[in-house]
């Protein structure tokens, strides 16, 4: 997500022109000085000890049914249907860049995963006639691809759901502007149906911003950049709405002129068009989309699984900004329901709340669906009640990148801005800022170079994934010379690990069921830095994987997280038995992660077979005690007893 820029209005046109002139002069200065710029180097972080963060109190209970996947991997654009950006498992605490696959694709959304760890992604406007690609998690090799029709392709991540009609099977759903597909994990198409919207040329105007499953309707719903909502039956692809629904807003104004010499813009667009098949002007349009300019909906939406309400961040009706002029200066958060109308099912607005600026934010729900979080265009984190009333707001000093991450535990909300990452705790009527992380993983910076926070964060059992870089601040745009990924401690905000590599992403991080980080490469800021000579590494698209170097430490972190969770669940099981039951599910996921890592750990020499036998016995003991605890809630001692072997594994692998 790019840094914000104020919207262009008539009264500000002179200011925008002056700014563009100033920035052009700055760009010329950067061009002349580029040859003297040295590349920053990443700091070396020794393997971090076990985090002090632990769950406290009752957790938010995830929604479960036969279709919704577990939280042990990324199954949608922001992880799940409520856009939490959270997984239940541990991230690899030591890692490095492993491979980049399909490097000629541009991916503003990251990959999603099935339960076997296979990757699925939908590149934006690819040169190849494809709408969905699957990769092997181990090697990055292409497994298969679903061909396109020549109409607009990409823009929204696929979604993986379980298939209750075929136990153990899963289906991948892809929504395009004019069609919706259900694809089996072997690449065969189950159904391919019209969306109800017309087929259009391949451009950025007619793309799908997001796709979700509405459990009560068992429907696949999607929203487009120009504000249409459509839906089809999950099983058959039959339409579920009488007609697509048009949101009541209008597009936001275009952004200010890109503050660069025309030759730089042309060169940057030439490189970008090597990754996307689009007409001239695609770079400006892409930046507008990322900033929420010239758009009615610029990001995905969330679904409350308990009520089937849709929450969409879009634009307010034209008149709400005080002027009916065909553009909207206000964003709006809409709560929508699907009701029975005279001609069949239709979408209906329940309420909406306007806010300053545009529509670049993704709404994120709490686990119980009673509170919604998003950022406005001017640095405020907003907490909205389910009646669209404002619960609280807090100024974080800079616009939030895309979406916030909301953890199941402790009412923790994590927001990422160009100023850094901040942890806010929702205390009910008020927020509390707990820490602001210092993002400084690069050293040996030349004068004028600074560390840069570049993307949103993702929550896991042992930390937060983030992307950072180092480079120059060019007016209101950050230009990274180099980029990498890292992990922050949830308790302190300190950097636990970092690895240089990959390319810039405007997508969320994707965590596979193996606990590894995968990134959709979508260079925009580094594209400009490359043309200016500030970032000499060639631009690359594709999907990049960061693989572990110490699998024993990944197993350690999963065991330690499980031990802490089991003890907390035991202490609170009488107060909140539903929370304790959800903890048992997560504990089993953490144990499964340990088991899945063991073979690779032995092959890599991180663990001996003899040591694994002892650990395996303790895991079996923990599993048996969890089975007993599940039948004894809310008064059993099984959770406390399950913590003991996990805590022992934690200590053994910490030596």
pLDDT tens, residue by residue, 228-243 = 999 999 999 999 999 9
The two three-digit tokens of residue 511, written as one number: 């965590």
- Per-residue pLDDT of 380-430, as tens digits, reads 999 999 999 999 999 999 989 889 999 999 999 999 999 999 999 999 999
CB 141 within 8 A of CB 291: no
Residue 153 has pLDDT above 70, yes or no: no
CB 130 within 8 A of CB 148: yes
- Per-residue pLDDT of 167-225, as tens digits, reads 999 999 999 999 999 999 999 999 999 999 998 877 788 889 999 999 999 999 999 99
pLDDT at position 636? 81
> Is residue 475 classed as helix, strand or coil in its secondary structure?
coil
* pLDDT, average across residues 98-117: 96
Instruction: Among 30-44, 246-260, 576-590, name the one with the lowest average pLDDT.
Output: 30-44
- Per-residue pLDDT of 549-561, as tens digits, reads 999 999 999 999 9
Domains and CATH numbers, the chain: 10-549 (2.130.10.10), 552-654 (1.20.120)
Residue 327 is given by DSSP the state: -
Kind of pairing, strands 510-511 and 517-520? antiparallel
* HSE-CB for 631 with a 13 A CA cutoff: 4
Exposed / middle / buried, residue 192 (Cβ in 10 Å: 0-12, 13-18, 19+)? middle
Task: Tally Cβ neighbours within 10 Å of residue 472.
Answer: 23
Helix, strand, coil percent content, the chain, rounded in steps of 5: 25, 30, 45
- Per-residue pLDDT of 621-650, as tens digits, reads 999 999 999 998 887 888 999 999 999 999
Residue 345 has pLDDT above 70, yes or no: yes
Sign of the Cα torsion 301, 134, 510, 234 reads: positive
> Could you tell me how far CA 393 lies from the centroid of its own chain?
22
- Residue 476 CA: distances (Å) to CA of 3, 6, 156, 167: 7, 10, 27, 51
Higher pLDDT residue, 284 or 244?
244
First to last CA, the chain: 40
- Per-residue pLDDT of 424-478, as tens digits, reads 999 999 999 999 999 999 999 999 999 999 999 999 999 999 999 999 998 778 9
Phi and psi, residue 144, nearest 5°:
-170, 170
CB 544 within 8 A of CB 521: yes
In 3D space, the residue among 472, 157, 446 whose CA is nearest the CA of residue 300 turns out to be 157
CA angle 595, 144, 200 (to 5 degrees): 125
> Could you tell me how far CA 358 lies from the centroid of its own chain?
19
Mean pLDDT of the chain: 91
The two three-digit tokens of residue 27, written as one number: 């760009």
Beta bridge pairs of residue 211 = 222
pLDDT at position 461? 98
Output Rg (C-alpha) for the chain, integer angstroms.
Answer: 24
Distance between CA 550 and CA 558 in Å, rounded? 13
CB 488 within 8 A of CB 496: yes
Distance between CA 91 and CA 489 in Å, rounded? 11
Instruction: Among 293-302, 365-374, 491-500, name the one with the lowest average pLDDT.
Output: 293-302
Whether omega for the bond prior to residue 188 falls within 30 degrees of 0, making it cis, is no
pLDDT at position 288? 82
- Residue 39 CA: distances (Å) to CA of 33, 527, 546: 13, 16, 21
- Residue 540 CA: distances (Å) to CA of 129, 342, 524: 19, 51, 11
pLDDT at position 269? 93
pLDDT band for 36, please (50, 70, 90 cuts).
low
Distance between CA 111 and CA 581 in Å, rounded? 30
In 3D space, the residue among 87, 112, 54 whose CA is nearest the CA of residue 406 turns out to be 87
Distance between CA 352 and CA 206 in Å, rounded? 24
> Is residue 329 classed as helix, strand or coil in its secondary structure?
coil
CB 510 within 8 A of CB 112: yes
pLDDT at position 14? 35
pLDDT at position 21? 37
Q: Residue for token digits 């059993």?
A: 636
> Is residue 182 classed as helix, strand or coil in its secondary structure?
strand
pLDDT at position 37? 60
CB 75 within 8 A of CB 159: yes
> Is residue 261 classed as helix, strand or coil in its secondary structure?
coil
Residue 309 is given by DSSP the state: E
């Amino acid at each position: 997500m790019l840094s914000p820029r104020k919207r262009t209005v008539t009264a500000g046109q002179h200011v925008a022109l002056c700014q563009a002139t100033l920035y052009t002069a700055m760009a010329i200065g950067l061009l002349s000085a580029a040859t003297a710029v040295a590349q920053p180097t990443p700091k070396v972080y020794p393997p971090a000890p076990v985090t002090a963060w632990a769950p406290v109190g009752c957790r938010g209970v995830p929604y479960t049914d036969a279709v919704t996947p577990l939280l042990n991997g990324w199954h949608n654009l922001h992880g799940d249907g409520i856009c939490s950006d959270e997984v239940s498992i541990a991230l690899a605490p030591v890692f490095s860049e492993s491979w980049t696959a399909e490097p000629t694709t541009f991916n503003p959304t990251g990959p999603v995963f099935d339960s076997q760890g296979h990757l699925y992604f939908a590149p934006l406007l690819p040169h190849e006639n494809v709408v969905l690609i699957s990769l092997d998690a181990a090697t990055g090799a292409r497994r298969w691809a679903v061909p396109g029709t020549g109409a607009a392709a990409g823009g929204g991540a696929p979604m993986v759901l379980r298939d209750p009609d075929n136990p153990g099977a899963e289906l991948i759903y892809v929504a395009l502007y004019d069609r919706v597909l259900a694809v089996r994990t072997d690449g065969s198409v189950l159904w391919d149906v019209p969306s109800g919207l017309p087929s259009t040329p391949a451009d950025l105007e007619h793309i799908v911003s997001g796709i979700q499953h509405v459990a009560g309707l068992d429907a696949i719903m999607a929203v487009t950049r120009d504000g249409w909502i459509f839906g089809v039956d999950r099983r058959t692809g039959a339409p579920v709405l009488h007609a697509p629904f048009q949101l009541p807003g209008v597009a936001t104004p275009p952004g200010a002129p890109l503050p660069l010499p025309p030759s730089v813009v042309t060169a940057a667009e030439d490189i970008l068009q090597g990754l996307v098949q689009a007409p001239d002007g695609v770079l400006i349009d892409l930046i507008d989309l990322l900033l929420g300019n010239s758009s009615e909906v610029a990001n995905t939406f969330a679904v409350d699984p308990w009520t089937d309400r849709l929450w969409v961040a879009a634009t307010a009706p034209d008149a709400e900004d005080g002027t009916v002029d065909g553009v909207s200066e206000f964003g709006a958060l809409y709560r929508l329901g699907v009701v029975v109308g005279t001609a069949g099912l239709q979408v209906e607005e329940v309420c909406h709340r306007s806010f300053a600026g545009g529509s670049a934010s993704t709404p994120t729900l709490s686990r119980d669906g009673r509170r919604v979080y998003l950022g406005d265009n001017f640095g405020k984190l907003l907490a909205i009640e389910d009646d669209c009333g404002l619960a609280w707001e807090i100024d974080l000093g800079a616009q939030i990148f895309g979406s916030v991450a909301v953890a199941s535990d402790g009412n923790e909300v994590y927001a990422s801005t160009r100023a850094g990452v901040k942890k806010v705790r929702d205390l009910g009527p008020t927020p509390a800022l707990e820490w602001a992380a210092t993002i400084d993983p690069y050293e040996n910076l030349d004068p004028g170079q600074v560390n840069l926070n570049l993307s949103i964060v993702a929550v896991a059992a042992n930390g937060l994934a983030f992307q950072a870089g180092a480079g120059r601040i060019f007016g209101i745009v950050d230009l990274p010379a180099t980029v990498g990924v890292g992990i922050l401690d949830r308790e302190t905000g300190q950097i636990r690990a970092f690895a240089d590599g990959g390319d810039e992403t405007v997508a969320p991080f994707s965590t596979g069921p193996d606990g590894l980080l995968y990134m959709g490469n979508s260079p925009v800021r580094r594209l400009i830095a490359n043309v200016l000579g500030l970032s000499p590494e060639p631009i690359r698209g594709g999907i990049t994987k960061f693989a572990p170097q110490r699998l024993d430490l990944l197993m350690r972190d999963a065991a330690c997280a499980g031990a802490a969770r089991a003890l907390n669940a035991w202490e609170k099981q009488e107060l909140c038995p539903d929370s304790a039951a959800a903890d048992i599910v997560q504990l089993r996921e953490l144990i499964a992660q340990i088991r899945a890592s063991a073979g690779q750990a032995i092959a890599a020499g991180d663990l001996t077979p003899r040591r694994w036998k002892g650990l395996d016995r303790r895991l079996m003991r923990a599993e048996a005690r969890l089975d007993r605890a599940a039948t004894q809630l809310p008064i059993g001692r099984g959770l406390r007893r399950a913590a003991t072997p996990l805590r022992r594994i934690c200590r053994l692998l910490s030596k």
